Chain A
Amino acid sequence: MSSKKHYSITVNGKQEEFLAEPRELLIYTLRERLNITGPHIGCETSHCGACTVTIDGKSVKACTMFVAQADGKYVTTIEGIGGLDDLHPLQNAFKEHHGLQCGYCTPGMITRATKLLEENPNPTEEEIRFGMAGNICRCTGYQNIVKSIQAAAAEMNAAKEAAE
């Protein structure tokens, strides 16, 4: 019934053009069509946040958006936040403070945390826990994720101060 349509989405700064059915969930577009496999799928009820990406300045669960809705938008995934040679302070802090074990929630966690720190550069522990509540982790018990985000916030604020 539904035929493929032409879509254009900018992912991590690169414009991608392709044909897809409108019903394709953005998480599948990223993973299977564009080979951007950092964002993960942990549930089918929009709870876990493993698929979290940033779209036009919002933290969004890419499993709960059709590719058709994302047409024309700017998407950032974990791959666009930092790479092996240029880790984002959050990526570095998750490594240093043991904020991950299996690593499956980590891309969504870090992507969400970038937005959290953008909106609230000095969050309290309670604000971090509440601000990350859309992301579930089965391994860490969250404690070290909180520490990682606190450490990254401190480093980013210090870098900002030094630059001013």
Chain B
Amino acid sequence: MTKSKYLALPKGVSENRFDAAIKKFTAAVGADHVLTSAEHLAPYTKVMMAVETAKHHPSAVIMATSVEDVQAVLKVCNEYKIPVWTISTGRNFGYGSAAPVERGQIVLDLKKMNKIIHIDPELCTALVEPGVTYQMLYDYIEENKLPLMLSFPAPSAIAGPLGNTMDRGVGYTPYGEHFLMQCGMEVVMANGDVLRTGMGGVKGDKAWQVFKWGYGPTLDGMFTQSNYGICTKMGFWLMPKPPVFKPFEIQYENEADIGEIVELLRPLRIAQIIPNAVVIAGVLWEASTCNTRRSDYLTTPGHTPDAVLKQIQKDKHLGAWNVYAALYGSAEQVEVNWKIITETIKRSGKGTLITQEEAGDRQPFKYRAQLMSGVPNLQEFGLYNWRGGGGSMWFAPVSQARGGECEKQVKLAKTILNKHGLDYVGEFIVGWRDMHHVIDVLFDRTSEEETRRANACFNELLDEFEKEGYAVYRVNTAFQERVANSYGPVKRDVERKIKRALDPNGILSPGKSGIRI
């Protein structure tokens, strides 16, 4: 095999044909916006998954600066059957980062389309382009002294709302279910048409960001975690900044307390006494985010023994489970709900309440309080230092917010992780009735042997959880095909029929969520 001048080639596309396509892309968007050199592609190859890096190498990158650019790129893709993987801010760490699902796809990078088109401080809505980051929005809100608050995932400062919502990511405020708070979308279809969802298609409309459904089928959901179109604008609702914000923590001593914690929190959450996406974080999650490394305690391979976990708990003043939640509203509202919470905990006879006054500037309380009030930080990246080496995959099964279920999932996950010499580093993100049980499968990616173990571990987690009727809400690109199977053949068949109708050449991110023509 002769060595190509490209890092990779799209599946079934010869080098000559790709040369011709690159020429057309260059004519369409300008030479500065078409990247093919190994040096320029390097940042797009950085992945944290337990698979060979080369499996996710792109063939080229195109940086679009407008909707017209996106349309022009798709025209060439259709002509030459070039598959295109779209990223917005491309910070999908643990889920595939900025690399394509399949080797050889070109990356369409929308980071330079970064206009905050509109923020309405009265209706509390925003309309943004794909490249807008949460930090940009935060700065805009601060500079203009707008009475609004953001919700974002932990990579806040460098991630953005459009990309996060397209993968149905979550945050930690009362607006933490991001897709739920999304309103209005602009999507470039494979044939170049520009579709606006909801009220967006109505001539002269002003309600695009205020009424979600529009008329007839509501399509926004169909474009999330899929490959039916390229989102170029997205609207979403913002929470008005409350007069009082009161974050707090409840620490629990024992791992076995998880069931009781969930039973205690559920009614408070469903009744909106606690309105935000609460987290129940395990000891290692918390330890990592206050700069604790495994090597501080152990240099031996294998999982971290329970005795060491107890020692870390003691040294770092953590619980086996650490609940972070917050109250929002007027001083009176917060006081009433605080009373309900303190009395509920007292009655339960378990759990130590910690207020912001008591916690002071201590981590991880501080970063949790910031995430729950929309202040960007990257403190949680400490997770990646627990074992170091750049290996991380999110295993995130959905669970009922029921004690017995959560307890069962923790036991199952910990057993499988430990069997493969890895640790249970997990938290529950508490919805109204559901849990995103988020487990960081951390491993040293510089070790081939450990990487193989992490891969086997992830497979086994998926298999064993599936046997119990559990599936994940989101997954990294190496396992998207596998996870699509968890949801059954009928769903896959319908998805394929939609794909064929909307993207007959299969150019848009083939393989995303397992969907192909």
Question: A and B from one assembly?
Answer: no
